[in-house]
Structure 1
Amino acid sequence: MPDPIKIRATVKGDEGEVRVLLPHPMESGQRRDAAGQLIPAHYITSVIVSLNGKPVIEGALGTAVSANPLFAFQLAGVKAGDRLGVAWVDNKGQRGSAEGSFAAG
């Protein structure tokens, strides 16, 4: 089982600052292991961020993203206690998701 998604969401006024760490190997399929064999491609293809159950960000990722990607962004119109959800799907059909709440910062 992959490591859990880490979410840090704080709010100041009506603006929220979000940091999301997605633990994932993000293999491009172009690297080789110590024995010289290609490491199969294994990367996140899509990420959806939702606020109180409604999608606010949808993104497509590919092989150029590093392992364990960290995303940071700001959202307007949020308040302490609002729920933030993050979900991803990778090229092998594996999925991950997590929820967190905005905290006063």
Structure 2
Amino acid sequence: MSETPQVAYKVLTAPQMAQLEADAVFKGAPVDLADGYIHLSTEAQLAETIDKHFAGQDDLHLATVDLAVLGDAVKWEPSRGGQLFPHIYADLPLSAVLAYGPLRRDEQGAIVLPVAS
């Protein structure tokens, strides 16, 4: 079995990103609130998540989340195709976000991950 990633990614709309910055906490998108946890994706899962759940949306943002900071609030659970996805059973504090920024893709269409400034 492969090693569990130490970081995961949350895709946010511009208003959700602004709310995270203003309140220093993110309580979840409508789908998160409905499901009872905040959905995250690993780097390997990210492109498919964006293409499937955010197709056609502009002004998206990515937050890099330090899973170790969240401790036991993170549960790895099967989802799309049986893959294990990280889910947060708590609010996402800004203090657990290592980097964030607008969703960008390079010339080949690959996602450019945010880097801490």
Q: Per the shorter chain, which TM-score range?
A: under 0.3
TM-score when normalising by structure 1: 0.27
Give the TM-score taking structure 2 as reference length: 0.25
Q: Which has the higher strand share?
A: 1
